[in-house]
Each structure stands twice: as structure tokens, then as C-alpha cells.
Structure 1
Amino acid sequence: MKRGIITALVIILAIAGIVLVLTNNKKKNAAKTAIVAQGSGAISVRTSVIEKQAINLDFSANGTFAPNQELNFLSENAGRVTKIYVEEGDRVTKGQSLARVDAEILNTDKETAEANLQNAVRDEARYSSSFKTGGVTQQQLDQARLMVQNAKLRLQSTQRKVSDANIKSPINGIVNKKYIEVGAFVNAQGTQMFELVDVSKLKLKVSVNESQVANLKVGDQVQIKSNVFPTDDYVGKITFIAAKADASLNFPIEIMVENNKKNTIKAGMYGTAIFKFPGQAPTLTIPRGSFVGSVSSNQIFVLGEGNKAVLRKVVAGRILGENVEILDGLKEGETVIISGQINLIDGTPVAPVK
């Protein structure tokens, strides 16, 4: 019995504590909103007199550097690796031999293709001579000529494969990774052999929002800073602007940067793009929180005669940080209500709070 009474008292005390905390929180929230009922019934609000201000469109965006070109080099023919001419970290040029695959089988195929072509040419000559005397039909002669063409194509294919026995770099770059060793067997399905990267130029990948991307275009020059080399100044050029926003409603952008400073930037390092724009003419702006609900509502409250809230329809322009450009519906010198709108309707008496 005593245990039950103690349990009941604990529950009652806990409930009382919760009620006390909720009551205190409610009082604190009411104080923070600065919306206090006045003796006259007016609602306390904060206001701001609107005037034209100069707009600063400059901004910066962080991203990572990616190689200009990145290639995972795969084998095209089956065979055993007999020689490797490069090591990891070596700089290579386009067309340079990287390795050699044993071409013994390929050479045999080439010799067979050459013999088949010679036979096909002789057969065509015999059929052509017999056709003149009526010994064969036109169809048989055409078939012999087709055999010659097929034999030529097979020989070209085997010659290409023999040439491919010398694995050559398709790009200028650096051997970032070597996946094979001498004696390893590679197959025609594409064994990974080398990872090649070109870092003579780098792509800085950043994302910007809708108001920022509206002021950018392909070809614009951008100042670039590297986080690990802060004293070096780089200049990049915008080479790509996404036509569609990503899942976070930002637009991916790529900036090409010449990696020709004394301190070489590595792919994967962090960088900052600094976008600068000419000075803009002063324009009307209001705090973003002035809108009823959200900026998309295009509705605000202005302070009317007799200190009454007047609902006003405006046309919003660019979102500039915590401010929003107003294109129409508001004049310089008018007073806008910037907080307390949640308790207002058109014509509500208000008391501006300093």
C-alpha cells in the first residue's frame, strides 16, 4: 500500500514539473516575439523605413578540384604482359608506350589473314578469266569479289590488334596507379591496367543558388584560391553551368583552372571561387522576414494612417542574402512591418516598437 502511494506521488510531482516547464516556455516565447497586447488593444510590431540601398552581388563558393581528364585504361586484347615501361608517378605523353602484351597468338592470326587474302585474290582472278569465256556466272564472280573484300577487312582487324600489343597512352598526364606486373595475364574483356590523370588543368566544382547563377555565364573569369596555398592567386574560367538544379536546389558549376603555379594543386584538394561583379544601382530592398508566410506569397504589411497594418501586394525580385529586392508595389520612405505579422490582418491597429 505504501509503495503505491509513493508511486502516485512521484507521478503527480512529475506531471506538475512538466506543466511548470511548459508554462515557463510559453511565457519566454511570448516575450521573444515582442507581440504584447497594449491597453488600447494594438499589437506590438517592429517596423523599418524603406530606402534604396546599393546591392553587392559578390559572393564566394567552396568546392573541390578534379582532374581535367581521368582515365582508367583497360586492355583490349588477351595476352601476357611482357614489358612495362612506366611506373606510378611518371609523366607520360599521348601516344607513349606504357606496356607490351605478348602478341604471339596475334601474329599467327595476322599471318593466317594474309594467306586467306592471297587465296581470295587468286580465286577472283580465275573467276574473272572464266567469266569472260562463259565458264562461271556473274553471281559466282560477285561472290569471289566479296570474299576478297572480307579477307581485306579481317587482315586490317588483325593488323590493328598486333599494333595494339604496344599499350599506348591516349592522353597527356601522370600514371596515378599501375594495376599490372610483368607476367600478368590480361583478357579481352577489359583488365584494368593503368589509371591516368591530367592535372595540368583542374576543374573546380562548386554549387550556387538560383539568385547567384542568374548573374553567371560560361566564359566568365573567376578568382580562385587554394586552401593549402593561400598566397597563390589563380584565375579560372567558367566552362559549365548546369541547366537543372540538383536535389538541394543548387546549380553545379565547373571552373577550369590552369595548374601552372610553383605550388602544384592536387586533384581532390579544396578550393574557393570568388565571384566579383560591377557595382549595382541602388534599389529598394526589405528584410526577408517581412513577407507574410514566405517570399513567394508576395504579400507584406505596411504601416498605414492611424498606425494600422495595411496588407500590400508587391512584386519580389532577387533574394540577396537576408534581404529581398522589391520591383513594384512599394515606394521609398514607406514603413514596412518586419515582425509580428502572424497576429495581423488588414486594418489591425499596431503599436511600433523601437
Structure 2
Amino acid sequence: MKILFNKFRPIVIITIAILFVFLLIISKGDVVPINEKYVPPLVEVLNVVNSNFNINLYSQGTVKPVQDIILSSEIIGKVDWVSKKLLIGSKFIKNDTLVIFDKRDLELALIIAESNLFQAKLNYEREFAEYELANKEWYEIGNGDGTNLALRKPQFKRAKALLSSAEAAYEQAERNLEKCYIKAPFNGIVNSKYIDVGSIIGPGTPLAQIYSIDYVEIELPIDNEEIKFLFENEVNKNKVILSNNSSGQNIKWIGEITRISEQINYQTRMQSLYAKIDNPYEKQNKLKVGLFVKAQLIGKKINNAVKIPRNTIKDDYIWLVNNENKLERKKINIDYYDQDNAIITNTLIDGQKILTTRLSSLIQGMEVRIKD
């Protein structure tokens, strides 16, 4: 009996399992479907108001000096004194003495030139007197025209030439002595220094590299297509606002566009404007050479336009919410993009609502709720 049970044991187990499943199926109640109500997504919108806008163009650049020169010597000599204002980074004002050469040899040369000048003047006066006397005597006792030699004309011309030469030599000696003093040609700052006390230099020897701070320039590259938006606003014509926040504060300066480059950079395809700032180191916040600044230029005015966030636009299309709170896709005419916004014209009507909320999916006619 036990052997017979073990033989049919799998069949019994399967039969019991089938009966159990059958009982579960017939005892299951009817499935009642749950009707969930669709809740439209909550969105934010921007109400369209057509207005007049000034185009703001943006650029950036580095403050650079306009005058940047190598200060050089015009004479041969030894450096006798160097001003502390010639240290790298030091500031100086126009006509400050920066370098003095050993001037003893040039002082002696001036004394010799002065002596030669006195001698030439004395010789000239003597020859002039003899020239006049010879002419007077000839016309009193002579017959006809006298020879040049008899009238002492060559001697007088030679004395006159020697006097001119002596005057020139004296002036040259004076100028050489003045050149012992190297003075600042403008208000500026020292960029590099090449000499010190005891240096032996000659004509053309570089002494220092200096640059002017009477005014500075900033080169501002602008897309060639954006140039057309500039300089139609007479109130702000040529005006540029420069800013820098590297110190933790947003510091601003007002400059002026003085010129536009007549060439386009072949690498960037940009055209450069040049902004000028007068007396940058006399401002409350100094605009220092080498500082990186951002620039905002106020240009052309566009009438009856709408400014909308750039992130609401995709492939020149935006989404509107109509009076039935349903989405509509609309193509727009973009006049200008700035850093954050786009300015569009001849497209939207006052009162229309632009969708500004980013949704995972956007479908024509999709219903939404507008956030109060």
C-alpha cells in the first residue's frame, strides 16, 4: 500500500494544486476600475506688453595704455642717480626727474663751448669793424669798384660763419647738459627698469619701459552683425559702461567709444570697438592697467517690441497659453539676442501669455493651470 501511494504521490499533489487554484478563481470578486481625474500641470506665464527697448550690447576686454614707450638715452655717460619713482610699478607725474647722468664732462664741454663763443664774437666784431673801415676808405680815396679782398669781404664772411658755428656748438653743449636729466614725458607708471646707479650707457640705450595713465583704452570685440545696433541713441551715443567685480564689489566706470576698427579679426570674425577712459587713476575706484572688465553699450532703440527669456525659445518657436488655458505653439521673429533675453517684434499681441515653466512634455492643445 505504501509503495502504491509513493508511486501516485506526484499526481495527487498536482491534482490538489489544480483544485486549489480553481477555487481561488471562482471565489474572486469582480474588478472595479478606478477613474482618476486628470489634473493639468501648474505653470507660470509672462504677460505680453509691447514696449520700446534700447538694444544693450555686451563685450569684455583688458585695460591697456595708449602710450607705452621705451625711455632711452641720447648721450654717452654713467648713471649717477636713479629716482625711486623708476621702480617697477611706481607712479610718476609729467616732468619728474627719473635719471641723472654724471654731468661733469658735459659741464666742461659747455665751458669750452662758451669760451669759443666769446672768442668768435670778438673776432666777428673786429672783422666787422675792419670790413666797414675798408669800405669807407675805398669809397673815399679809391676809383671804381674795389676787390672783395681789398674790401675784406671774405674775412668778414669767415668771421660770421665761425660765430654761427660757435653759437651752434654752445647750444649743443647746453642741450647735452640738459640731457643728463631724464624727465618723465607724461603722467605714468613704470613697467620695466633696465639700468641702475653706475650703469654706463650710450645713445639709444633703453633705460626703462613706461606707459601713460592720462587715459587708457579697452578693446571691445563685437560680432560684426551687431554693429548695426549701435549709435542711434543720441542721448547715450558712444557711451559704454565698464564693470568689474573681482574685489567682491561691482564697480562701474563710464567711458566713451572713440573709434571702430576698420578690419575684422580673421580668427574670431569679430570687429573691435575702442573705449577711452580719461584720468583712470584719479577716479574714486582706480581703473588700473591690466584689469579685465565687462562692457555694456547702449545702442539702437526698437519700438513696439517684447523682451522674453531666452530659455522660453526653441528653434524660433515659443509656447503660448490661450484663453482656454491650452498650449499653442507659435513661430516668432527675433530681432536681437542679449545675454538673457530675446527682443522680438511684429509677432505678439498685448495680453497674450507666454509659457515660462519648463515641462517634461509639450503637446499642442494640452491643458494647463496658470499659477496665480
TM-score category, normalised to shorter length:
0.5 to 0.7
CA distance in structure 1 between the partners assigned to 2:96 and 2:51 by the alignment: 60
State yes or no: 1:277 paired with 2:267. no
Alignment RMSD: 3.6
Match of 2:221 in 1: 207
CA distance in structure 1 between the partners assigned to 2:335 and 2:116 by the alignment: 74
CA distance in structure 2 between the partners assigned to 1:167 and 1:159 by the alignment: 15
State yes or no: 1:231 paired with 2:250. yes
State yes or no: 1:101 paired with 2:113. no
Match of 2:194 in 1: 179
Match of 2:129 in 1: 129
Which protein has the larger Cα radius of gyration, Structure 1 or Structure 2? 2
Deviations 1:228-248 (A, max 9, x none): 245111111112222343435
One-letter code of the match for 1:245? I
One-letter code of the match for 1:234? W
C-alpha displacement at 1:124, in angstroms? 1.4
Superposition TM-score, scaled by structure 2 size: 0.57
- Residue among 74, 77, 88 paired with 2:75: 77
Instruction: Describe how 1:245-264 pairs up with structure 2 within 5 A.
Output: 245-247=264-266, 248-257=268-277, 258-264=280-286
Q: Residue 276 of structure 1 aligns to a residue in which SS?
A: strand
Q: Residue 303 of structure 2 aligns to a residue in which SS?
A: coil
Instruction: Describe how 1:14-163 pairs up with structure 2 within 5 A.
Output: 57-87=55-85, 88=87, 89-132=89-132, 133-134=134-135, 135-163=150-178
- Stretches of structure 1 lacking an aligned partner (at least 5 in a row): 1-51, 284-288, 291-317, 334-353
C-alpha displacement at 1:255, in angstroms? 1.0
C-alpha displacement at 1:219, in angstroms? 6.6
CA distance in structure 1 between the partners assigned to 2:69 and 2:299 by the alignment: 37
Change beyond 3 A, Cα 1:219–1:96: farther
State yes or no: 1:191 paired with 2:211. no
CA distance in structure 1 between the partners assigned to 2:157 and 2:265 by the alignment: 59
Match of 1:220 in 2: 238
Change beyond 3 A, Cα 1:205–1:140: same
Instruction: Describe how 1:311-326 pairs up with structure 2 within 5 A.
Output: 320=336
Q: Residue 299 of structure 2 aligns to a residue in which SS?
A: coil
Q: Residue 273 of structure 2 aligns to a residue in which SS?
A: strand
- Stretches of structure 2 lacking an aligned partner (at least 5 in a row): 1-49, 136-149, 306-314, 317-333, 349-363, 365-372
Q: Residue 151 of structure 1 aligns to a residue in which SS?
A: helix
CA distance in structure 1 between the partners assigned to 2:227 and 2:117 by the alignment: 61
Retained in 1: the 8 A contact 2:281–2:288?
Answer: no
C-alpha displacement at 1:83, in angstroms? 1.1
C-alpha displacement at 1:176, in angstroms? 3.3
C-alpha displacement at 1:81, in angstroms? 0.7
State yes or no: 1:165 paired with 2:165. no
Retained in 1: the 8 A contact 2:120–2:163?
Answer: yes
Q: Residue 262 of structure 2 aligns to a residue in which SS?
A: coil
Retained in 1: the 8 A contact 2:110–2:174?
Answer: yes
One-letter code of the match for 1:79? G
Q: Residue 243 of structure 1 aligns to a residue in which SS?
A: strand
State yes or no: 1:268 paired with 2:266. no
One-letter code of the match for 1:210? N
Deviations 1:329-353 (A, max 9, x none): xx999xxxxxxxxxxxxxxxxxxxx
CA distance in structure 2 between the partners assigned to 1:127 and 1:278 by the alignment: 78
Superposition TM-score, scaled by structure 1 size: 0.59
Q: Residue 95 of structure 2 aligns to a residue in which SS?
A: coil
C-alpha displacement at 1:261, in angstroms? 4.7
Change beyond 3 A, Cα 1:279–1:240: closer
Change beyond 3 A, Cα 1:172–1:280: same
CA distance in structure 1 between the partners assigned to 2:116 and 2:293 by the alignment: 60
One-letter code of the match for 2:271? F
C-alpha displacement at 1:277, in angstroms? 2.9
CA distance in structure 2 between the partners assigned to 1:122 and 1:103 by the alignment: 29
